[in-house]
Amino acid sequence: MSAFKIVAIALIVAGSLGLIYGGFTYTKKTDQLEVGPIELSIKDKERVDIPVWAGVAAIVAGVVLLLVRK
């Protein structure tokens, strides 16, 4: 497969996942305190929302790349 097909398929898959899930969540470790044998850490969950237009644009760009390179 050529690089264009791989990029096109990756864009279509990423756009589809963006539309299905709408975003992703990750955990960020913010503060840590160590006092002797006691260790305390704070973890925050952050959510990144993916706009619908970005998912649709990725799918359209992938389809265009597949059609143009034929």
Question: Distances in Å between the alpha carbon of 12 and those of 7, 28, 46, 61?
Answer: 9, 29, 25, 8
Tell me the pLDDT tens digit for each residue of 5-59: 999 999 999 999 999 998 889 888 777 778 888 888 888 889 999 999 999 999 9
Cα Rg of the chain (Å, integer): 20
Q: Is the pTM of this model over 0.75?
A: no
* pLDDT value of position 70: 59
What three-state secondary structure class fits 32?
strand
